[in-house]
Amino acid sequence: MNPASELPSEPEPTVAEPGSPAVPDSAPARAIIVVAAGSGQRLGAERPKAFVELAGRSILEHCLDGVFGMHEAAQVIVVAPAALVPEAEEIAFRAAGAARDYVSVVSGGATRQESVHAGLGLLLDSVRTVLVHDAARALATSDHLERVAEIVEQTGEGVVPGLAVADTIKSVDAGDTITGTVDRSALRAVQTPQGFPREQILAAYAAGGDDHTDDAALCAAHGFSSIVVAGDPLAFKITTPWDLQRAERLLAERAAAALAPTRTVPALRSGLGIDVHAFDDDQPLWLAGLHWPGEPGLSGHSDGDAVAHAIVDAVLSAAGLGDIGGMFGTDDPRFDGAHGSVFLEAAVERVREAGYRIESVTAQVVGNRPRFSPRRAEAEELLSALVGAPVSLSATTTDGLGFTGRGEGVAAIATALLADIRASSSTRPVV
Ligand code: CTP
Ligand code: MG
């Protein structure tokens, strides 16, 4: 470690040995000082606050989850009560895992300001941006921490996350009599981490002065202004027993959500197709992929299989590939008299190539004949095999109305459901 030399000499703090004497290969440009040396009087627990158990682990360890989840490497300096430096070291190294060389633990002081000061004494020379973070903000996310560092680097200013104040704020006199209502639009409830360019925070702490409860106040006292950026409600500080139970609940909800079974819901697209062919007594009947001996056939360039053609249009339209005429051309001699299965196989192939999986198809035959129900199962089996997905068929008449009612021909309507297997599918909890 290569401590900062800019600070005035202070009584030597107790410094735990880092995980290894080696400075990490690529020296970090950021540092985060996690202050955990407070006693936690308002929490009133038996142990100093950062070492109090929260959902089976210490508050400090939860806080370090956020720290070690940051994308960019940072020097991590944990400031602990003198008597608990070894325990803090154990917690910090466990949280750091493979990143333990980035970690140091040092004993803090009687005030938060003194604790931060002790942490600053360990800054590596490579560090340009310093974040100071309360261990008591156990649920602050990695994104929240990282955002503050990024804005410091973009602006060159001190950065403090803050939330608008929701309550009406009153000013009172010594006897608690209200003296006025404060304009809350000009107020922010600030959080940590508070981030600063290295030189600013070192200069402010080197100058020292009155005790301040946050770093931005000390920096401001020495002429370094800070900006407030959006805070995160999750970065609340555990101060009272009520806060501790709230953090417990939030973690329990998070754990339950992580355990909830999920299923992948693909991006779905539906398609529709209709086809009509007139009867032609001179042709054999091919319908729904089957030959129907003894029945009048259907006229058409192909075999006139209205069901197969409607299904082709349904799957093509679901995939955004146009329709049967556009794909095969009604005048193409290659399809002269071709069976519906030829078009169907070709359309299924094109749809697959375009990145879709056919989930299901439904078709309905509209006409007086043939009597469909005796061969419905046979037709479903054949078409399902061709499509590679369940195909359901049904048939109806039109009560003597229209061209189908007059027995002039057959109509078929089909729908298809396709899964877009290229689109990122969403994972949703099963409800
Ligand atoms: N802190 C510190 N050294 C101190 C005082 C506070 O490192 N001498 C740290 C705390 O551990 C905490 C953060 O500063 O993570 C914010 O302080 P606060 O919430 O006030 O914690 P405590 O001082 O521990 O609590 P209390 O004020 O209720 O005693
Ligand atoms: Mg305090």
Q: Residue 242, SS3?
A: helix
- Which ligand is the nearest neighbour of the Cα of 115? 1
Ligand 1 centre from 111 Cα, in Å? 8
Alpha helices, H only, 292-415: 306-318, 324-328, 340-353, 376-387, 402-405
49 ligand 1 Cβ < 6 A:
yes
Q: 318: exposed, middle or buried (C-beta count within 10 Å: 0-12, 13-18, 19+)?
A: buried
Quick check: CB of 80 below 6 Å from ligand 1? Answer: no
**45/53 Cα distance (integer angstroms):** 10
In the reported structure, the alpha carbon of residue 236 is separated from the centroid of ligand 1 by a whole-number distance in angstroms of 14
pTM above 0.85, yes or no: no
Q: What is d(CA 136, CA 174) in angstroms, rounded to the nearest whole number?
A: 31
Name the token pair of 332: 């193409």
Q: Which ligand is in closest contact with the Cα of 113?
A: 1
Task: For residue 352, report the phi and psi dihedrals to the nearest 5 degrees.
Answer: -65, -45
* Polymer length of the chain: 431
Ligand closest to the CA atom of residue 42 = 1
Give one word for 403, left, alpha or beta, with left for phi > 0 and alpha for psi -120 to 50.
alpha
pLDDT score at 25: 58
Measure the CA angle with vertex 12, ends 8 and 18; round to 5°: 110
What is the rounded CA–CA span in Å between residue 358 and residue 418? Answer: 4
CB of residue 117 inside a 6 A radius of ligand 1: no
pLDDT of residue 31: 98
How far does residue 191's CA lie from ligand 2's centre (Å)? Answer: 14
Two structure tokens written together for 2: 């290569």
Q: What are phi and psi of 136, to 5 degrees?
A: -65, -15
- Whose structure tokens read 């909800």? 253
**Which of 259, 240, 235 lies closest to 62 in space, CA to CA?**
235
Residue-level pLDDT, tens digit, the chain, 431 residues: 444 445 544 445 555 544 444 555 579 999 999 999 999 999 999 999 999 999 999 999 999 999 999 999 999 999 999 999 999 999 999 999 999 999 999 999 999 999 999 999 999 999 999 999 999 999 999 999 999 999 999 999 999 999 999 899 999 999 999 999 999 998 999 999 999 999 999 999 999 888 898 999 999 999 999 999 999 999 999 999 999 999 999 999 989 988 887 777 778 999 999 999 999 999 999 999 999 999 999 998 788 999 999 999 999 999 999 998 888 876 777 777 789 999 999 999 999 999 999 999 999 999 999 999 999 999 999 999 999 999 999 999 999 999 999 999 999 999 999 998 876 555 655 55
pLDDT digits (tens, 9 = 90+) for 115-173: 999 999 999 999 999 999 999 999 999 999 999 999 999 999 999 999 999 899 999 99
Question: How close is the Cα of 239 to the center of ligand 1, in Å?
Answer: 9
Ligand 1 pocket, 311 CB below 6 A?
no
